[in-house]
């Protein structure tokens, strides 16, 4: 049993996104049916649409920064009720049985979590479809509560860009007084600045572009370090307690390793591709660490949203209508957005 609904997607990797019809399952006993009001545009939407990671299944209906209202709930759903404002992020299911799932880290599910789009659909067969659509039906365990005091349009990007940057800052214990560097000022980096600032850190925006300095300070950075300025980089050598590297492509991380204090960690969240050659000596001298981090588990995503409610943190967004999506993709690709596009999903209905 399923319902046909309106969506927007790409039929192959060369295609622009265009209107299409997809199926959603009926509401099961543990399901929440959500009418989507807003959906953020993540860089990985573009990678998937263009098959950059060689795992896309067409048609691709992207979107994993979903905000909406509950319109129906299954008979066993206790946590949510009709009318409530909720969110859905990058996952809609996982095995629930492996050690990662039991540790509330469904994003590392050893049997493979189910991505919100382009994942394997256990209910209808085929693959999952994302938030560039009217409506979605999701298991209650993968639905998040949105603090009512926040602007819901600007909350959407928290479901991916937010948790991707909050989780490593939280997991590696960034605290008041730490000197924290956020490398790269885009959709991820701008959230990293806001979170690190709210956690009480001394926040340094590290960027190649001097023209980003003013905006970085508006977002909460206390200092800006231009990574091309060798003298400035030398002054900051060995001084950082933590580095969050949001650069979305392979690059040379050695100059950033030099910035770490002894025993400090740089976490990569953007570059899921080969990096330039790392010099082993840079890690050995100072017992430094490079790690990776992938979004966050459902419990930590809720913790992040509650933290945002408490500290009044949202994303800086630019609103678009559904039919502006192809132009928006071009602008994301050329880093021409401050800092996240959000689609007004009402525009799909017309």
For residues 332 and 161, what is the distance between their CA atoms, to the nearest angstrom?
14
Name which position in 16, 276, 327, 336 contacts a second copy (CB under 8 A). 276
For residues 50 and 202, what is the distance between their CA atoms, to the nearest angstrom?
38
Q: Does 299 bind a second copy (CB under 8 A)?
A: no
Cβ proximity of 124 and 149 under 8 Å: no
**How many residues bind a second copy, per CB under 8 A?**
37
Q: Which secondary-structure segment (H or E) carries 244?
A: strand 240-245
Nearer of residues 68 and 270 to a second copy, judged by Cβ: 270
Q: Does 12 bind a second copy (CB under 8 A)?
A: no
Collect all residues with Cβ–Cβ distance below 8 Å to 312 and sequence separation of at least 6: 149, 150
State the nearest-atom distance from the C-beta of 261 to a second copy, in Å.
9
Q: Does 289 bind a second copy (CB under 8 A)?
A: yes
Q: Does 110 bind a second copy (CB under 8 A)?
A: yes
State the nearest-atom distance from the C-beta of 273 to a second copy, in Å.
6
Q: Does 284 bind a second copy (CB under 8 A)?
A: yes
Q: How far is CA 212 from CA 200, 255, 318, in A?
A: 22, 20, 18
Nearer of residues 291 and 319 to a second copy, judged by Cβ: 291
Across-strand partners of 183?
A: 206, 245
Q: Does 274 bind a second copy (CB under 8 A)?
A: yes
Phi, psi of 285, deg, nearest 5: -75, 95
Collect all residues with Cβ–Cβ distance below 8 Å to 272 and sequence separation of at least 6: 53
For residues 136 and 156, what is the distance between their CA atoms, to the nearest angstrom?
15
CB atoms within 10 A of CB 346: 13
Quick one: which segment of 145-153, 155-163, 203-211, 260-268 binds a second copy (CB under 8 A)?
260-268
Cβ proximity of 193 and 347 under 8 Å: no
Contact string 114-153 vs a second copy (x = CB under 8 A): ----------------------------------------
State the nearest-atom distance from the C-beta of 86 to a second copy, in Å.
27
Of residues 80 through 109, those in contact with a second copy by CB under 8 A are 99-100, 105, 108
Of residues 157 through 186, those in contact with a second copy by CB under 8 A are 171
CA 223 to chain CA mean position, Å: 25
Of residues 189 through 218, those in contact with a second copy by CB under 8 A are none
State the nearest-atom distance from the C-beta of 168 to a second copy, in Å.
8
Structure tokens at 9: 């997607």
Binding site for a second copy (CB under 8 A): 99-100, 105, 108, 110, 171, 238, 250, 262, 265, 268-294
């Amino acid at each position: 049993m399923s319902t046909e609904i309106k969506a927007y997607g790409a039929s192959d990797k060369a295609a622009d996104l265009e209107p299409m019809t997809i199926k959603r399952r009926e509401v099961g006993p543990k399901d929440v049916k959500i009418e989507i009001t807003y959906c953020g545009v993540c860089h990985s939407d573009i990678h998937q649409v263009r098959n950059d990671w060689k795992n896309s299944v067409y048609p691709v209906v992207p979107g994993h920064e979903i905000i909406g209202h509950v319109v129906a709930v299954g008979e066993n759903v206790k946590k949510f009720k009709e009318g409530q404002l909720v969110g859905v992020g990058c996952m809609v299911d996982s095995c629930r049985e492996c050690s990662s799932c039991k540790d509330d880290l469904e994003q590392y599910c050893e049997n493979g979590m189910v991505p919100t789009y382009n994942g394997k659909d256990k209910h209808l067969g085929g693959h999952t479809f994302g938030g560039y659509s009217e409506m979605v039906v999701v298991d209650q365990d993968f639905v998040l509560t949105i603090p009512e005091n926040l602007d819901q349009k600007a909350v959407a990007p928290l479901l991916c860009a937010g948790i991707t940057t909050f989780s490593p800052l939280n997991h590696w214990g960034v605290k008041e007084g730490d000197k924290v560097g956020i490398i790269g000022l885009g959709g991820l980096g701008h959230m990293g600045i806001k979170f690190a600032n709210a956690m009480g850190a001394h926040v340094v925006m590290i960027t190649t572009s001097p023209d980003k300095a003013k905006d970085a300070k508006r977002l909460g950075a206390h200092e800006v370090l231009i990574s091309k300025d060798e003298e400035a980089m030398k002054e900051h050598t060995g001084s950082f307690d933590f580095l969050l590297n949001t650069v979305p492509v392979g690059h040379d991380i050695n100059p950033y390793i030099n910035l770490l204090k002894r025993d400090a960690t740089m976490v990569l969240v953007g570059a899921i591709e080969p990096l330039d050659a790392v010099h082993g000596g840079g890690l050995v001298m100072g017992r430094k660490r490079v790690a990776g981090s992938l979004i966050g588990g459902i419990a930590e995503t809720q913790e992040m949203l509650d933290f945002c409610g408490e500290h009044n943190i949202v994303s800086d967004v630019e609103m678009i209508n559904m039919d502006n999506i192809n132009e928006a993709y071009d602008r994301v690709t050329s880093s021409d957005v401050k800092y996240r596009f959000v689609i007004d999903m009402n525009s799909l209905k017309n």
